[in-house]
Chains A and B, each alone.
Chain A
Amino acid sequence: MQTEIHTMKAFHKLKKSCKAYLVTATFGLAYVMMALAGLVATSHAESEAEIADHLKDNSCVSCHLNEVDDDNTAMTEHFLKGIHARRGVSCSDCHGGNPKAEDEDEAMDEDAGFIGAPDREEIPKFCAKCHSDPNYIRGFNPNLPTDQYAKYMISGHGKRLLKSNDDKVAVCTSCHGVHGILPPNDPKSPVYVSNIPGTCSSCHSDSTYMSGRHIPVDQLDEYKTSVHGIALLENGDRGAPSCTGCHGSHDARRPEPSGVANTCAQCHNFIREMFVASPHKAAFDEENISECEVCHGNHAIQKVTDDMLVSEDKSVCGECHDSDSKGWKVATDMSAHIVALRNQIDSITLIVDSAREIGMDAEDAIYILKEARNELVKSRALVHTFKTEDVAEVTKAGTEKVQEAGVAGRGLMEQFHFRKRGFLLSLAVILLLSVLLTLKIRSLSGSSKIEE
């Protein structure tokens, strides 16, 4: 039964691939191979059997897989699991040589074009042979970009490699792995979004490796404490930015101050719009201050607090604005509105929580409080307009909601006290009635007679 299904599958794949062959004759063969590889891979578990048919007669694979040298065996096995082998790209496509030749010397004849292992600084070019060729790549994946090499060349890594001949920088294989390269959407890939911080930090957090670089090595530690790090690494939100989200991947480098805001605005566009429309924009440009970063930091971006407006030690406004300046007044006013709303929400939450704890139905009040908190979040975003009236308008809406919740919450407490009074009063009535009944019983005559 099992085999039947596999055969059927293979048949359909073959049928499909025949069509493909007609359309793109060049790559049709690869598709047939894939189909056959699929058949083989699903029917057997052994690693040797996983070899795609097009690699069956490949002397690179057959020799290196059965070599005495464990490293080379592992390399070949690794390669067979990667995307290249799966898409029909064989060893010789990158390394040259003649896979048809049985003889070792003939197969790896450097005169006939065998390259062997490229030098480290040659690797980007080595990969770019194919990956910068849109015509070639298109046949495998029309959506795969082919600008990696160009981007790499303007990256911090590429510039050092090219200009300073510094080969202690990341090349393609540093991040993507060597032979068994996996596509970035494979969770096992080192460049899968949640693996990126670990991949980058394998060099960037290594103080020995980074010595003499004059850049910090604590980015990962900082990032782990940040809202983004927590979202990505703890909550598994793959939409949260990893290192490459802000620095870029192939073109990774330190963002310019003027570029920081645009980087953040990839997601936080609303804040960016408000900021750009504010007087801060011109002032920051003039002083060449990096916009978001100067207040929020970079790798260790923390959850914002209201203290960041006005407080003894955490005020970011106070970093520039003197206490008698107009800017400080705006900060104070915005802070006053926000903190007032927050305090109101907190105090009503206390009432509602205590009502809930004593068993009252607080669901309506909790729902309204959520709406009020909604407005609080909104008002906090609006500080980036640096206009008190914008903030005040939203906090006012929030305050109305809080008051509504307050009425509901106090209603619950009243209801509770009503319950309590009712309980005590009814208890009193019952017990008093019982006492009177006892008196009544005692007043009855003939309560005990002797029978004959």
Chain B
Amino acid sequence: MANTHEMSKKPARTVKEPAKRDFLTKSLAGLTTALVGFILYPLGKFLKQPPAAGGNVKRTLAAKVGEVPNDSGKIFRFGNDPGIIFRTPGGELKAFTAVCTHLSCTVQYVPVESYILCACHNGKYDLNGQVISGPPPRPLEEYQVDIQGDDIMVTRA
């Protein structure tokens, strides 16, 4: 090792003004810091849990148990489409797609008379999703409902 001697291919650049060298080192340090920032920023953002929602989901939280008293309904978001959950006057929980089979408006639950109504063209469905009257050509697709603690969960096939 002691006998090794300089063999730089290019003319020696060792004799450089200290100022220039200082600038290079400082720039390197600065840019390295910037790069670390560019890595840490997305990293920090990534680690922050986003609120769960949307998408082509098969199962979703439709409502809290207390939100749906007897003979009332609620619209919930199921993936990219609305769903409807309601409790019949008899106390049974049911869920259907809320997309009317006529022109895709969102349906609603009508208390007292207890049926599902699409307000766009007055299409009516019974509490089994079957068409009672109005223009809808097909029944509403039914979803499965189960209760987990305080959550009403809805599942589609």
Chain A residues at the B interface, C-beta cutoff of 8 Å: 231, 235, 237-240, 267-271, 273, 361, 363-364, 366-367, 370-371, 373-374, 377-378, 381, 422, 425-426, 429-430, 432-433, 436-437, 439-440, 442-443, 445-452
Complex interface residues of chain B between 26 and 63 (CB less than 8 A to chain A): 27-28, 31-32, 34-35, 38, 42, 53-55
A425 touches B38 (CB 8 A): yes
B7 touches A433 (CB 8 A): no
The smallest beta-carbon distance between B61 and chain A, in angstroms, is: 16
CB-CB < 8 A to A269: which residues of B?
122, 133-134
A440 touches B121 (CB 8 A): no
Closest 4 CB pairs of A and B: A270-B122, A237-B137, A239-B137, A449-B4
B12-35 interface bits toward A, Cβ cutoff 8 Å, 1 = contact, 0 = none: 111010000100110110011011
B38 touches A447 (CB 8 A): no
For the complex, give the distance between the alpha carbons of A381 and B121 in Å. Answer: 7
A sample of 6 inter-chain contacts (CB < 8 A) reads A239-B131, A269-B122, A363-B54, A370-B81, A425-B38, A449-B6
B106 within 8 A of A: yes
B104 within 8 A of A: yes
B126-137 interface bits toward A, Cβ cutoff 8 Å, 1 = contact, 0 = none: 000001011111
- Which of these, A361, A371, A426, A443, contacts B16 with CB under 8 Å? A443
B5 touches A449 (CB 8 A): yes
Known contacts: A364-B54, A443-B24. The answer to whether A240 contacts B137 by CB under 8 A is: yes
Known contacts: A377-B120, A432-B31, A439-B24. The answer to whether A231 contacts B10 by CB under 8 A is: no
CB-CB < 8 A to B25: which residues of A?
440
CB-CB < 8 A to A240: which residues of B?
137
CB-CB < 8 A to A363: which residues of B?
54-55, 79-80
For the complex, give the distance between the alpha carbons of A433 and B131 in Å. Answer: 68
CB-CB < 8 A to B82: which residues of A?
370
For the complex, give the distance between the alpha carbons of A267 and B102 in Å. Answer: 11
A268 touches B31 (CB 8 A): no
Least CB separation from B37: chain A residue: A429
CB-CB < 8 A to B135: which residues of A?
267-268
Chain B residues at the A interface, C-beta cutoff of 8 Å: 3-10, 12-14, 16, 21, 24-25, 27-28, 31-32, 34-35, 38, 42, 53-55, 77, 79-82, 101, 103-106, 119-122, 131, 133-138
CB-CB < 8 A to B136: which residues of A?
239
For the complex, give the distance between the alpha carbons of A366 and B82 in Å. Answer: 12
CB-CB < 8 A to B104: which residues of A?
370, 373-374, 377
The smallest beta-carbon distance between B100 and chain A, in angstroms, is: 9
CB-CB < 8 A to B9: which residues of A?
448
For the complex, give the distance between the alpha carbons of A452 and B53 in Å. Answer: 68
A449 touches B7 (CB 8 A): yes
CB-CB < 8 A to B35: which residues of A?
426, 429-430, 433
For the complex, give the distance between the alpha carbons of A113 and B16 in Å. Answer: 131
Known contacts: A363-B55, A443-B21. The answer to whether A267 contacts B28 by CB under 8 A is: no
The smallest beta-carbon distance between B64 and chain A, in angstroms, is: 21
The smallest beta-carbon distance between A24 and chain B, in angstroms, is: 32
Q: Which of B12, B103, B137 has the most CB of A within 10 A?
A: B137
Known contacts: A366-B80, A433-B31. The answer to whether A451 contacts B120 by CB under 8 A is: no
CB-CB < 8 A to A267: which residues of B?
133-135
- Additional 5 contacts, C-beta under 8 A, given A432-B31, A446-B6: A269-B122, A373-B104, A377-B103, A440-B28, A442-B10
A268 touches B38 (CB 8 A): no
For the complex, give the distance between the alpha carbons of A448 and B9 in Å. Answer: 8
CB-CB < 8 A to B4: which residues of A?
446, 449-452
For the complex, give the distance between the alpha carbons of A240 and B102 in Å. Answer: 10
The smallest beta-carbon distance between B134 and chain A, in angstroms, is: 6
Least CB separation from A445: chain B residue: B14
B31 touches A374 (CB 8 A): no
A437 touches B28 (CB 8 A): yes
Least CB separation from B117: chain A residue: A270
Known contacts: A268-B134, A269-B134, A442-B13. The answer to whether A378 contacts B105 by CB under 8 A is: yes
Least CB separation from A303: chain B residue: B103
The smallest beta-carbon distance between A371 and chain B, in angstroms, is: 7
For the complex, give the distance between the alpha carbons of A367 and B135 in Å. Answer: 24
Least CB separation from A449: chain B residue: B4
For the complex, give the distance between the alpha carbons of A440 and B20 in Å. Answer: 11
- Which of these, B24, B55, B79, B122, contacts A436 with CB under 8 Å? B24
CB-CB < 8 A to A270: which residues of B?
121-122, 134
For the complex, give the distance between the alpha carbons of A436 and B30 in Å. Answer: 11
For the complex, give the distance between the alpha carbons of A374 and B4 in Å. Answer: 83
CB-CB < 8 A to B12: which residues of A?
445
The smallest beta-carbon distance between A372 and chain B, in angstroms, is: 11
B134 touches A436 (CB 8 A): no
Least CB separation from A241: chain B residue: B137
B8 touches A271 (CB 8 A): no
For the complex, give the distance between the alpha carbons of A316 and B39 in Å. Answer: 63
